[in-house]
Amino acid sequence: MVMAQSLFRVLKQKHPDTAIDVLAPGWSLPLLERMPEVRAGLEMPLGHGRFALKQRWRLGRSLRGRYEQAILLPNSWKSALVPWAAKIPRRTGWKGEMRYGLLNDMRHLDKSLLTMTVQRFVALAQDPPLSAVPAVPAPALMVKEQDVNQALVQLALEKPAGGELLALCPGAEFGEAKRWPERKYADLAWRHLQQGGMVWLFGSDKDRAVCDNITQMAGENCINLAGRTTLAQAVDLLSLADAVVSNDSGLMHVAAALERPLVAIYGSSDPGFTPPLSQRHEIVSLGLECSPCFRRTCPLGHLRCLRDIDVEAVQDALARVGNHQ
């Protein structure tokens, strides 16, 4: 969803008066609220993987007469049903899952030209044929000071003053092959605390146990916010960070879109396919022969792509990104 903002920004550049509404899962609406290009986020009432033909048909009918074009980012067949039922005149998307008839502006993807996910999103704003990689504006989430202050009060936090605030995002929904070891995050946190800094840990409720372990190893001044914040609060509080260290995850993209100095740690995934899109980031990746494997767990059982990344390498990357202007 964060990368989709690059498409929204291009659409606004091409057509400043256009109104952009986004049909998306309810959990993502706080992100859309922080994208000035988006007029409204429309909650998709169906969970991931649910077919629910009747519900999709009814939702599409409720949207009739409101839009001139629909741009589909998912490649699934079912994702094309709502725009088709809405009778939106122009329905744009990449060829995928036999969507002939549902889409009437079908594009054929050249993966050798568009090597990054965000390029594929942005290319849907261009008229075919596409002969060059389109320029990709970086996402830029906008937070309001009143929302930041409200989140601080609600979570009984003090606004950072003096020591630098380091935000750690040690989770990854995809699986353990994206997660730098807990003990190394704890070591990094401990070193930062010893220098007089502050450490906040971010994540979903699923990351709470991981963050609890890191907090216990790092010391009592390491504050675990995993599972305690809403997504909106997490975005607003991350905007206060002086630096962020994250696995390849959604929060990594959020930190980049907030223009926080960011160190992104990659294991089984490819930093060339879904990199942070900000200028102020450093990528730490060993580039082993076996990676990227895109597996949830290490197929070789050693997870060296992450376990062999030293804390010192991450500290060095933090120092470099902190000097970027």
For the chain, the domain total comes to: 2
> Residue 6: how many CB atoms within 10 A of its CB?
25
Beta bridge partners of 91: 70
Final residue before a domain boundary, out of 123, 138, 160: 123
What CA–CA distance (Å, rounded) separates 140 from 1?
12
Instruction: Confirm if 230 and 30 have CB atoms less than 8 A apart.
Output: yes
CA nearest to 182, candidates 164, 158, 209: 209
* Residue 136: inside a domain: no
Q: Do 310 and 192 fall within a single domain? A: yes
Final residue before a domain boundary, out of 91, 123, 155: 123
Say what the pLDDT of residue 99 is: 87
Say what the pLDDT of residue 200 is: 97
* Residue 137: inside a domain: no
- Between the alpha carbon of residue 178 and those of residues 104, 227, 265, 298, 309, the distances in Å are 38, 19, 8, 10, 12
CB contact set of 20 (below 8 Å; sequence gap of 6+): 8, 11, 12, 37, 38, 39
Say what the pLDDT of residue 316 is: 97
Q: Do 67 and 216 fall within a single domain? A: no
Q: Do 159 and 18 fall within a single domain? A: no
Q: Do 152 and 99 fall within a single domain? A: no
Say what the pLDDT of residue 49 is: 63
**Structure-token match 């122009």, residue found:** 90
CATH number at residue 308: 3.40.50.2000
Largest Cα separation within the chain, whole Å, is 62
Say what the pLDDT of residue 221 is: 85
Q: Do 201 and 272 fall within a single domain? A: yes
Instruction: Confirm if 37 and 54 have CB atoms less than 8 A apart.
Output: no
Average pLDDT for runs of 10 along the chain of length 325: 97 97 95 98 81 90 97 93 97 88 94 96 94 95 97 94 91 83 97 95 94 92 95 98 96 97 94 92 95 90 94 97 69
* Residue 133: inside a domain: no
Q: Do 231 and 152 fall within a single domain? A: yes
Say what the pLDDT of residue 325 is: 47
* Residue 228: inside a domain: yes
150 φψ region: left (φ > 0), alpha (ψ -120 to 50), beta (else): alpha
Q: Do 118 and 161 fall within a single domain? A: no
Say what the pLDDT of residue 159 is: 85
Say what the pLDDT of residue 211 is: 95
* Residue 132: inside a domain: no
* Residue 65: inside a domain: yes
Q: Do 171 and 308 fall within a single domain? A: yes
The residue segments making up the domain with residue 35 are 4-123
What CA–CA distance (Å, rounded) separates 324 from 229?
30
What CA–CA distance (Å, rounded) separates 323 from 325?
6
Phi, psi of 242 (to 5 degrees): -80, -25
